Structure 1
Amino acid sequence: PLCPSKRSRAESPLPIPSVRLLIMSDTHGAELPSSLPECDVLLHCGDLTEDGSPDSISASLQELGKVKAELKLVIAGNHDIALDKAYYLSEGGSKADVEKAQALVSPDQVSEASKLGITFLSEGTHTFTISSGASFTVYASPYTPAYGASGFQYSTDEDRYNPSAISPLWAKNVGTETSIIPAGTDIVMTHGPPKYVLDSTADGQSAGCEHLRRAIERVKPKLHCFGHIHGGYGAQRLEFDNSKTRGDSDSIVPLAKEWVGKNQAKRKGFASLPPGSAEEFRGGKQTLCINAAMEGEEGRLENAPWFVEVQLP
């Protein structure tokens, strides 16, 4: 019988490992469900706490420590105010609280986060390789457009995510080497959403950032996860049509929002893409956007975290 030669076997492409991601945001100090599935990578997109105090940050880290994951990546959100030194001190907070909060999430092996297997990401691009051999880049940013008194905010006319050549004339480009999202990024992890994507507030307003939208159009990451706008919870795939870039329109073509039964998701302990949508996403020509805000409009954890299996890179 015929069998593959050594040469043909050597030339066969290695399968790209799938990575199981558990994505959540806006837990606001609540106790996490006990039924969360085991995953390769946990992504928490900010607002671990309600009041941002060091004690609340510590309690939330302990909750995340219970999740079974090889890699746990976490960013701050606008409620996690003791981690935003400039804002916290400007509001009368103590320097001691800032130092305590920063020590909790420090990369030092003795920090509480490190002991719990949690990597707290500062703004910028980070590269990870897990035991399956999957290697991927994550861009992280805790910042959101200014709204009220809160941490990690920027003026709505400031573009921190793009090179100056990409910013419109009316915008002030404040991008730095760490804040600009680089081409080739696999996962974009921000606290807030891009404009017009899973960003509807309770009164129907669009609260996302148009500069972030422009960056997603430019970079086309495989996944963009966020929270912040509780009413925008859900998943939506984006396609890109370069023929649309004339005039005032961009190339983003949002597909229909993915339907997930909330009761079914709660019974499972997680929400996931319908099979057909998951298959399309695996084609590599789309960006999957996920608003993973678990706290609903009533101040309780009403939404399930998202469980996504994706091939990286």
Structure 2
Amino acid sequence: MKVLAFSDLHHSRSHAQELVAASKDADLVIGAGDFCNMRQGLPEALALLSGITAPIIAVPGNGESADELTVATLPNMQVLHGTGINIDGLQIFGLGYGVPQTPFGDWSCDLSEDQARGYLDQCEQADILVLHSPPNGIADQTSMGQSVGSIAIYEAIERLQPKLAVCGHIHDSWGQTGMIGATKVVNLGPSPNWFDF
């Protein structure tokens, strides 16, 4: 299975065009949150991806709520947030939002570490973890060098050992990768990222 993955589209028309074009070769597309900006323009942002015909798995970022994403979803899109799905034998579990809480204010959809842990504890097995926030200490550094990833997410990856954990959220770490045991962690960003399963 050829998997195309991205995060943090943030209503970028140019990145959306690149993703739609790339998706012609994809069996599955994963969107790891932040399709729009500050809870504004989500239907329009998703419309930019309407040329994707492959199944899409999406988690909400901190820029849109799970309910907002579910309402605006594309016909071929499945929203995961503390839930999982099996696609052709591939077990995928998703958790969106900013973890831990961000300093961005009321518009940001965030979870505390304890709230995130409660969702993640429901997952018993996964081949792919789709997350908006990175794990603490991997692909999670701001431009000031501060590590702002989630301890609960790190612990879940360590416990579950999926083949792959994808995330976004921290723009300064787009493209960065790391390992937690046998699990590859990738902070995706809005350009096409390819994985084979």
Correspondence list, 1:167-182, <5 A: 175=118, 178-182=119-123
Q: Which amino acid aligns with 2:184?
A: L
- Cα deviation for residue 65 of structure 1 reads 1.8
Look up the match of 2:110: 153
SS of equivalent to 1:42: strand
Unaligned runs of 5+ in 1: 1-18, 86-97, 106-112, 130-134, 162-174, 241-285, 295-303
3-state DSSP of counterpart to 2:49 = helix
Give distance in 1, aligned partners of 2:111 and 2:38: 20
Match of 1:120 in 2: 79
- Residue 153 of structure 2 aligns to a residue whose secondary structure is helix
Aligned-pair CA distance for 1:159: 5.5
Stretches of structure 2 lacking an aligned partner (at least 5 in a row): none
Q: What residue in structure 2 maps to residue 137 of structure 1?
A: 91
Distance 1:217 1:189 in 2: 15
Q: Measure, in 1, the Cα distance between the counterparts of 2:102 and 2:44.
A: 26
Give the one of 184, 209, 214 matched to 2:155: 214
Q: CA deviation at 1:305?
A: 2.0
TM-score by length of 1: 0.56
How far is the alpha carbon of 1:181 from its aligned partner?
4.9
Pairwise CA RMSD of aligned residues?
Answer: 2.1
Residues 187 and 84 of structure 1, relative CA distance in 2, 3 Å threshold: closer
Percent of residue pairs bearing the same amino acid type: 23
After superposition, where does 1:1-313 map in structure 2 within 5 Å? 19-31=1-13, 32-34=16-18, 35-37=21-23, 38-53=25-40, 56-69=41-54, 71-80=55-64, 83=65, 102-105=70-73, 113-114=74-75, 117-129=76-88, 135-143=89-97, 144-148=99-103, 149=105, 150-156=107-113, 158=114, 160-161=116-117, 175=118, 178-238=119-179, 240=181, 286-294=182-190, 304-310=191-197
1:309 Cα deviation from its structure 2 partner: 1.2
Distance 1:78 1:102 in 2: 14
Partners of 1:196 and 1:225 lie apart in 2 by 14
* Larger relative contact order (CA 8 Å, sep ≥ 6): 2
Equivalent position amino acid for 1:210 in 2 = I
Structure 2 distance, partners of 1:102, 1:127, is: 19
Evaluate the alpha carbon distance shift between residue 29 and residue 122 of structure 1 in structure 2; reply closer, same or farther with a 3 A threshold: same
**What is the identity, as a one-letter code, of the residue corresponding to 1:127?**
N
Q: What is the aligned length?
A: 189
